[in-house]
Amino acid sequence: EIDCPYGASMFVSKNFISEVGEMCEDYFLFYEELDWAIRAKQKGKSVGVCLNSMVFHKQGRSTGKKMDKQASPFISCLHSRNLLFFYRKFFPSLYQIALLRLFAKAMRSFAKGNTADFKIIMKVIAGFKNCSVYIQNEK
């Protein structure tokens, strides 16, 4: 049994979807599988791993990120926004810690000279949610 499944290699039964529901569409790319796992556990379901399965997962295909490159503005926004949404939904008493975690990430970005990432994270902390505005600039 595991707490956090990896979304690139999940399989569930029809019964699971009937009882737990579909993945929450409020997320995109980040935290939706963790949300699903928590809701499953709340319904008494276990989340496990199939040790003999094999999955080829091309890292970064969904996000466009190369292993040695920083995340795009769109991805940075989504990750930050979804982190806060996840904490607000499941761990509201820890929401301030999630904000501090993001603030620390913003400070690290600033210290590394990545002011674009710093600005995006700070906007999300201030309440910005519409990450799709960053898609136009990535094409």
How many Cα atoms are found within 13 Å in the side-chain-facing hemisphere of 131? 22
Length of the chain: 139
pLDDT of residue 15: 93
| Per-domain boundaries in the chain | 1-57, 73-138
Q: Token digits for 119?
A: 């600005």
Extended beta strands in the chain, E state: none
What is the signed CA dihedral for 10, 15, 18, 20, rounded to 10 degrees?
-50
Mean pLDDT of 79-93: 95
pLDDT of residue 57: 63
Please state, for a pLDDT cut of 90, what percent of the chain lies above it. Answer: 53
pLDDT of residue 105: 96
pLDDT tens digits, residue range 27-78?
Answer: 888 899 999 999 999 999 888 877 787 777 666 555 555 545 677 888 899 9
Q: Which residues contact 67 (CB under 8 A, 6 or more apart)?
A: 59, 60
